[in-house]
Chain A
Amino acid sequence: MKNGLRNSIARCAVLAVFLLVLAPQVAFGQEEEAGVVSLEMFTVNNTWMLVAAFLVFIMHLGFACLESGLTQAKNTVNILFKNISIVAIGLLTYAVVGFNLMYPGDFALEGVFGFAGFGLDPGVDGNTVAYADGAYTYWTDFIFQAMFAATAATIVSGAVAERIKLAPFLAFTSIYVALVYPITGSWKWGGGWLDAMGFYDFAGSTLVHSVGGWGALAGIIVLGPRLGKYVGGRVKAIAGHNMPLATIGVFLLWLGWYGFNGGSVLSADPELVSLVFVTTSLAAAAGVAGAMVTSWTLQHKPDLSMVLNGALAGLVGITAGADVVSVNAAMLIGFIAGIIVVGAVLLIDRVHIDDPVGAVSVHLVCGIWGTMAVGIFSADHSFVTQAIGVLAYGAVCFPAALGIFFALKQTVGLRVSKEEENIGLDVGEHGMEAYGGFQMVNR
């Protein structure tokens, strides 16, 4: 008897909850016809975008692990110091100028440059359904995009590792992420000239990864290789000190990419977000496979660091077209990216350009590949327009980065002394060690 009553109360409760959950959906169905998103869907969309934002934040932890793992123990404090500083610089500059340079609304110089003023201002409708058709609020918009800004800068830090002075590096990062990244970004995502032309870059194979990659390439050309890397015309290996840490870094980057690409849907659209998760995952997996096959064939033994780069290559490759290519195309794009990245690492080493973590191969070379792949695998996008976009970013970002690095080299100097490079930047730049109590034999 008692049990019977309890059961009916439970049934009533279930029914009540069911109605509460269902009722807004019915209302949403009616409102959708009128083109207005319900408050509930606004909340769902906005929550997903905030989750995506903190997933992108996780990528900085991934970069910190990967970069310190693939470099020498004596430079670990320096790498980590740069990684935490970049996040700070990225967020601060994006709040002050970056956001309003990248999304100016009105362009002062048609489609090329616009600036909506300093600081953040949500305005009257900034945090209502009206701001972005109920997809996200102004604050969400800012924090999601700000997380992206910092990733472009952090790509450079691994490439120039183990030999660049701290202060000029931070100066470069500030200028690059405050001005170059958002101004060039406005050409596509801000509704500028490349957007008008039909150029497509879903989550930033070009806008984020190539922009970072061009900066990395310019940096390592101006800096020169690490001591002892190329001796008598021969390539010498300078082994990374912690492969488990590098591996954790790649897993964290892969995790963060679900926010990077999944959030770039810019709403919680069930079909698109889930499609993007699938294309992103499959491209990364295929990147691992491509790098494995290539490394095993060319190097005779399968190199873990190459396979780690392969996963990232697949991810960078799919970033431009994650929502417009088929699942099969995603696998092909990732597999080819995995092959390309191993070839690029070996080739770049062959021409004596020293990139300790393979940042140029992963982010620049595969960023270009991913952008072009949209023109190949998506019927709605033109190969020529994609090529124009790739060239436009290269033509501006590379000379800009080269100019900033060269100016810093001529004024304050860019490279640490030979003595400091030998004892390590941890002691030289920071006066501290990453692994206190452990004996370092490479002094």
Chain B
Amino acid sequence: MKLIAAIIKPHMLDGVRDALSKSGIQGLTVTEVKGFGRQKGHTEIYRGAEYSVDFVPKIKIEVVTDDPQIDSVIAAITESARTGEIGDGKIFVSDVSEAIRIRTGEAGVAAL
């Protein structure tokens, strides 16, 4: 099993969710996050004085999948979250040693 954590632009979330549903994903977790990458921050103006917004608001989605599915899930996220502009985000993949469904106690891929 793999954990896919993707940082995406907030307004792309609905499209990414649809794409993941189509590729067979049955659940995911969404978190509102802030950070910076190559997009860096930007400046805003308040009463004549500039201030820098160093951390840009982003959405982090986390989804755990079975190994054979991994390429199609990554493809779904990459295609649905891409605008071509700087700041589209990143996808991180890591190993997951176990998954358990709390209600039934099922473990492994059956719990996903």
Residues of A whose CB lies within 8 Å of any CB of B are 235-240, 298-301, 303, 305-306, 345-346, 349, 358
Inter-chain residue pair count (beta carbon < 8 A): 36
Contact B51 A299 (CB under 8 A): no
Q: 19 A–B contact pairs at CB < 8 A?
A: A235-B48, A236-B49, A237-B45, A237-B49, A238-B46, A239-B44, A239-B46, A240-B46, A298-B48, A299-B45, A299-B48, A300-B45, A303-B45, A303-B46, A303-B48, A305-B47, A306-B48, A349-B47, A349-B49
Shortest distance from the beta carbon of B3 to any chain A beta carbon, whole Å: 25
**Bound complex: CA A349 to CA B47 (Å):** 9
Residues of chain B within 8 A (CB-CB) of A299 are 45, 48
**Bound complex: CA A300 to CA B49 (Å):** 12
Residue of B nearest to A298 (CB): B48
**Bound complex: CA A375 to CA B51 (Å):** 41
**Bound complex: CA A306 to CA B45 (Å):** 12
Nearest first, the 10 A-B pairs at minimum CB distance are A237-B46, A237-B49, A237-B51, A235-B49, A239-B46, A346-B48, A305-B47, A299-B48, A236-B51, A236-B49
Q: Which of B44-87 contact A (CB under 8 A)?
A: 44-51
**Bound complex: CA A236 to CA B46 (Å):** 9
Residues of B whose CB lies within 8 Å of any CB of A are 44-51
Shortest distance from the beta carbon of B31 to any chain A beta carbon, whole Å: 13
Contact B47 A345 (CB under 8 A): yes
Residue of A nearest to B55 (CB): A441
Contact B47 A358 (CB under 8 A): yes
**Bound complex: CA A303 to CA B48 (Å):** 8
**Bound complex: CA A37 to CA B112 (Å):** 86
Shortest distance from the beta carbon of B47 to any chain A beta carbon, whole Å: 5
Known contacts A237-B46, A239-B44, A306-B47, then 4 further A-B pairs from the complex at CB < 8 Å, ordered by chain A residue:
A237-B45, A237-B47, A301-B45, A303-B45
Residues of chain A within 8 A (CB-CB) of B50 are 237
**Bound complex: CA A407 to CA B49 (Å):** 33
Residues of chain A within 8 A (CB-CB) of B45 are 237, 299-301, 303
Contact B48 A239 (CB under 8 A): no
**Bound complex: CA A4 to CA B50 (Å):** 77
Shortest distance from the beta carbon of B17 to any chain A beta carbon, whole Å: 25
Residues of chain A within 8 A (CB-CB) of B46 are 237-240, 303, 305
Shortest distance from the beta carbon of A152 to any chain B beta carbon, whole Å: 24
**Bound complex: CA A298 to CA B44 (Å):** 15
Residue of B nearest to A240 (CB): B46
Residues of chain B within 8 A (CB-CB) of A300 are 45
**Bound complex: CA A240 to CA B47 (Å):** 10
Shortest distance from the beta carbon of A389 to any chain B beta carbon, whole Å: 31
Residues of chain B within 8 A (CB-CB) of A349 are 47-49
Chain B CB count within 10 A is highest, among A237, A298, A301, for A237
Chain A CB count within 10 A is highest, among B47, B48, B49, B51, for B47
Residues of chain A within 8 A (CB-CB) of B44 are 237, 239
**Bound complex: CA A358 to CA B50 (Å):** 17
**Bound complex: CA A298 to CA B47 (Å):** 11
Residues of chain A within 8 A (CB-CB) of B51 are 236-237, 239
